[in-house]
A = this chain, B = another copy of it.
Amino acid sequence: MTDRALIHRLCVIGVGLIGGSLARALRHAGAVDQVVGCGRNADTLQRAEALGVVDHYTTDPAHAVTGADMVVVCVPLGAMRGVFEQIRGHLAPDAVLTDGGSAKASVIEDARAAFGDLPAGFVPGHPIAGTEKSGVEASFSRLYNHRRVILTPVAESAEWAVDRTRRMWEAAGARVTSMSAEHHDDVLAATSHLPHALAFGLVDTLSRWEGEQEIFEYAAGGFRDFTRIASSDPVMWRDICLSNREALARALRRYTEDLQRLTELVERGDGAALEDIFQHAKARRDRFVALLEDKH
On chain B, the residues within 8 Å of A217 by CB distance are: 148, 291
Contact A191 B207 (CB under 8 A): no
Inter-chain CA distance A281–B291, complex, in Å, is 31
Contact B194 A202 (CB under 8 A): yes
Binary interface encoding of chain A residues 258-279 relative to chain B, with 1 for a CB under 8 A from any of its CBs, else 0:
1110110011010100110111
Among the 9-residue stretches A16-24, A155-163, A232-240, the one with 4 or more Cβ atoms under 8 Å from chain B is A232-240
Contact A278 B238 (CB under 8 A): yes
Inter-chain CA distance A228–B196, complex, in Å, is 15
On chain B, the residues within 8 Å of A130 by CB distance are: 220-222
| A166 nearest CB across to chain B (Å) | 17
Q: How often does this chain occur in the complex, in copies?
A: 2
Interface membership of A29, Cβ < 8 A: no
Contact B241 A274 (CB under 8 A): yes
Partner of A201, one of B201, B223, B255, B289: B255
| A253 nearest CB across to chain B (Å) | 6
Contact B192 A222 (CB under 8 A): yes
- Of the candidates A245, A253, A271, A277, the one having the most CB atoms from chain B within 10 angstroms of its own CB is A277
On chain B, the residues within 8 Å of A262 by CB distance are: 197, 201, 252
Inter-chain CA distance A186–B223, complex, in Å, is 16
Contact B249 A256 (CB under 8 A): no
| A293 nearest CB across to chain B (Å) | 9
Interface membership of A6, Cβ < 8 A: no
Partner of A286, one of B214, B231, B271: B231
Which residues of chain A have a CB within 8 Å of any CB of chain B? Answer: 78, 128-132, 147-148, 150, 187-188, 190-192, 194-207, 209, 211, 214-235, 237-239, 241-242, 245, 248-249, 252-256, 258-260, 262-263, 266-267, 269, 271, 274-275, 277-282, 284-289, 291-292
20 A-B pairs whose Cβ atoms sit less than 8 Å apart in the complex: A129-B220, A148-B220, A187-B211, A191-B206, A191-B218, A191-B223, A192-B219, A192-B222, A198-B226, A199-B226, A200-B277, A200-B281, A204-B280, A204-B284, A226-B226, A231-B285, A241-B266, A241-B274, A249-B263, A256-B259
Q: A191-B216, A205-B254, A227-B288 are in contact. List 12 more A-B contacts (CB 8 A).
A: A130-B222, A199-B226, A216-B284, A222-B228, A222-B229, A230-B282, A232-B282, A233-B282, A235-B275, A242-B271, A252-B263, A256-B260
Which 5 A-B pairs rank lowest in CB-CB distance, beginning with the nearest?
Answer: A234-B278, A203-B281, A191-B219, A238-B275, A252-B263
